[in-house]
Chain A
Amino acid sequence: DTEVTQTPKHLVMGMTNKKSLKCEQHMGHRAMYWYKQKAKKPPELMFVYSYEKLSINESVPSRFSPECPNSSLLNLHLHALQPEDSALYLCASSQDSDSPLHFGNGTRLTVT
């Protein structure tokens, strides 16, 4: 079982919907990440939070909005997405930003 928990596992949303992805870890890790992954491709970094502050935004469109309410939780708010945003969204955490990643099992997002 993964120690990074993501909900929901699957999400189908229309282009006008607003939804949120949630991620939780209780390993005391101080860095948390959002990645996007298309089929048979490596994960692509979207955002990095270090000590609850956004440290990296990889030029992600504003229809994706991250939030880190505390050191254990990470959210990704979605609004007005496009069909090409359909992908597996992976959350990860690490002890610090120089340490290996621990991934959740992802949210499979379909935008219709």
Chain B
Amino acid sequence: GQQLNQSPQSMFIQEGEDVSMNCTSSSIFNTWLWYKQEPGEGPVLLIALYKAGELTSNGRLTAQFGITRKDSFLNISASIPSDVGIYFCAGLYNTNAGKSTFGDGTTLTVKP
């Protein structure tokens, strides 16, 4: 089946630093999604990308849909303590009838 390689697995950064994480796949996707999960909560959608090459921002977050449709990155600028959580990438291929493929997650810790 399809698999996503998400890196890094974890990051420990100082408040104010920029963060970058990415996902790569051996298969193509039609949609790339980035979710954030905080303790005790379900994942929350941060950014959805629908076209190869698309670059989308949501506040301090920026994500891109790779040209090859096999990768995506998420950048967080000027991190703050509330950015702490697990970030998951996910890919959707529209003939998979609802089966999102998730990366293993990047755990972000921000030190004040």
Q: Give residues in A with beta carbon < 8 Å to B.
A: 2, 4, 31, 33, 40-43, 45, 48, 50, 55-56, 90, 92, 94, 97-98, 100-106
Contacts and interface: CB of A to CB of B under 8 A. Distances in A.
B86 A40 contact: yes
Contacts of B45: 100-102
A36 B51 CA distance: 29
B43 A48 contact: no
Contacts of B5: none
A36 to B, nearest CB: 12
B88 A42 contact: yes
Contacts of B30: 98
Interface of B: 30-31, 33, 35, 40-45, 48, 86, 88, 90, 92, 94, 97-100, 102-105, 107
A42 B42 contact: no
A100 B86 contact: no
Nearest to B89: A42
A103 B37 CA distance: 10
Contacts, number: 64
B94 A98 contact: yes
A48 B86 CA distance: 24
Contacts of A90: 42-43
A98 B105 contact: no
A106 B39 CA distance: 11
Given A40-B86, A103-B44, A97 B104 contact: no
Contacts of B102: 42-43
B31 A98 contact: yes
Contact of A55 (B42, B88, B90, B97): B97
A50 B90 CA distance: 20
B101 to A, nearest CB: 9
Given A45-B99, A56-B97, A2 B31 contact: no
A44 to B, nearest CB: 8
B107 A40 contact: yes
